[in-house]
Amino acid sequence: MRNKRRKQVETQKRQRRTVFFTLGILVVICISFTLIFGENGLVRFIKLRAIKEDVRAKVNRIDKQNKEIKRQIDLVKKGKDLNLIEELAREQGLTQKDEIIFQYQDGQ
């Protein structure tokens, strides 16, 4: 009788341990899944980091363009770069005295 009872108790303990171990593993899996694929998980973090780097690169490119434009503005204001002034004037359709402009239509 004692051996039967002892075996029953040991079997129940083993079953409880198995159930708790299984539940623990499931909880760990759920938490891991949420941390990786959740709304604010690792996958989203990696995507946001890539977007952030792209935006930084664009900002740096625009900063360089702004610096170049400011440099050109300073040169034009001071009248130091006559070639640049002439180029900008020609882009606006201006010509020098006695110049003839030939305009071609597409396909000719």
Q: What is the pLDDT of residues 8-50, one digit of tens each?
A: 888 999 999 999 999 999 999 999 888 888 888 888 899 999 9
pTM for this model (two decimals): 0.53
Q: What is the pLDDT of residue 103?
A: 76
Q: Are 87 and 75 in contact (CB under 8 A)?
A: no
CB-based contact 47:55 (threshold 8 Å): no
Average pLDDT of the chain, as a whole number: 87
Instruction: Evaluate if residue 1 carries a pLDDT over 70.
Output: no
Instruction: Report the percent of the chain where pLDDT is more than 90.
Output: 40
